[in-house]
A and B are shown apart, each in its own frame.
Chain A
Amino acid sequence: MSSMYAFCDRLGLSFRFIMRVLASYPSRRVHVKQILEQIYRLGNETVLIILVAGSFIGMVITLQGFTNLAKYGAESEISGLTAYSIYRELAPVLTGILVAGRVGSLLAAEIGMMQINQQFMCLEMLGINANRLILFPRLLAVIVSMPILNTLFCLSAIMSSNVVCTVGLGLPEGMFWNSLQYQTLFMLDFMHGLKKSFVFGIIVAWIALFQGMYTSKDRLGLAHATTTTVVSASLFVLAIDYVITAISGGVMV
């Protein structure tokens, strides 16, 4: 029971934490400068990973799907099928997990280190609002970057799928794009994935920042914070993905 109590307590603590951070919108030029810096650090520098992952996934799904569709004579729809899976599920989830790994661990470690180094207390003594200067910019950076990374993942997957289809499977270029344009809906499929990635961004940033801020100051505190961030964020992404998919299951045609 006491562990249940402790769990609820921590959950409540993290909720109040995120509310505090969300309310800390920038009020000075330095804050805005920080936001841009963080977007660069957390967004731009994750682009390469996302593009590479996207292209591999695109190729794999295409090849995998092709053999299945060939059984039913529906090979021409391969690009539509690939894109459908990518837009709706694979892009947001994989982007979420990759970002949880790279950005999540980075944030948890960085904030945890600052906490251990008494830098937050120092900022308070200097009359500088750490929520606005440090935490909010990072939260916003992740939230802004996630949808962009998701889109880049989709694009990368489609392009690599194109290469596989035209060069490897002998599909005519026109059929590739035709199926793509008919089988996937922008609003219903792509935007669905985009909205998911937005939610995942909030989850990853929340968990990472919270774990960092509340690192225990013992020998293993930082390591624990980092690993917990990556694991919890990844699992949460998968769980929320299930919830969103289940809820919107009835909506799709």
Chain B
Amino acid sequence: MIEVHNLTKAFGPHTALSGVTLHVAAGEWVTLAGPNGAGKTTLLRLLATLSRPTSGDLRLFGLDPHTQGNAIRQQLGFLSHRTLLYDDLTAAQNLTFYARAYGLPDGPARIAELLEQFQLTARQHTPVATTSRGMQQRLALARALLHRPRLLLLDEPYTGLDPLAADALTQLLTELHASGCTLLLTTHTLESHALGQRAVILRKGRIIHDAPLADRTAFPALYRQRLEQKSAPPHLPPAACDLPPAAHDLPPAACSLPLAIWAIVAKDLAAEWRTREIFSAMFVFAALALLIFSFALDLRGAVARAAAPGVLWSAIAFAGTLGLSRSLAREQKTGGIEGLLLAPLDRVALYFGKALGNLLLMLALEAALLPLTTVLFDVNLLQWTLLPIFFAGTLGYAAVGTLMAAIAVNTRAREVLLPILLLPLVAPLLIAAVRATSGLLEGLAWAEIAAWWQLLVVYDLIIAAVAVLTFGFVVEE
């Protein structure tokens, strides 16, 4: 089920895992223990395909995570420190999104079954943000089990649970194990109920103990004893597991590219429809930009009409930066992006889904801004001939903006860095869009503005190709 050989994971100068070798057979229940910083979460994230090893071999279900990641993700469930849920969506919407992402043929029935099992039916239409920590934890577990995984990875699942909830979790894990599911969980709790049949102890990124649990009550003493030893033993044979192989249903069919894109767009639009926070922020910011430019440049009469395309595109660019930043920050808030990465979705689908959602938001902004600018600047922007230019300009902006926002959201500077990264990249696009819009407003023919719209098209094609090819590198840990 899990085959890890000589695995190392380094984060720059810090080595989180060093020479880890671990074999877990189908149907085993393994507990991974160790002090803070031992590398437990790092190992689990590598197994969950959220991270790539620096060196060493890793195989799950006999498959290579690097080349067969989606086949692995289809059979793997992961409960993280974070809920990987979208706060702005309800419990039912969250599960519906993940059911689409996993391509579940019986999505609605499975969701109803899990909502019932985890006692969430009564509050299935309540936004996650307004529910209790316990309910979020139950929903997170439902999400991890939604696609009936053969292997379940749980990172500190007992943290923050009261005794009754902890008992319920143990009961659930016992049932899952009895049904043939392989379990690997990390824990700080050395109480016997949290332990499986085999214990692995990590210290400073190395395995210092790996043996079946003969006596669970003696484990805390053994754990302390092993941690007090200074150096690791030279070689640890993997613990034997003679459990019979588990019987499982075949994994459901993977989600097709258009359906995966639609799942992401529908999820984003549902979150935005509920909160309307991105659109309203973008619109107010763009309106303020129009106002500020009018004051600063003293735009009146013919001067205002001549400057309108430039001012409008600047307002769209600035407001777009705000919207893109928020759109990706929403993914980061409770680990939603990790939820996306855990699903068996092509990275291309992730990119197209996010970019399309952002494009629709920006087009909605323009639908509101064009009449406003027409009124404020006394210039007729409500012309069909302008639509291709606005579409091409916005498409390029959303294409490169989604890529840059995905980078910026993972940096320390975040919102501050996004405009610094993005605006120099879109300079040629903005120049072309402004010139093309001005030309058409002046009554020029398409042939006379050919250089500008050609530049827009070339820019869109180049930047979209770069984004599609590189987005996967940006979203992976």
A, B assembled together: no
- Which residues does B use to contact A, with CB under 8 Å? none
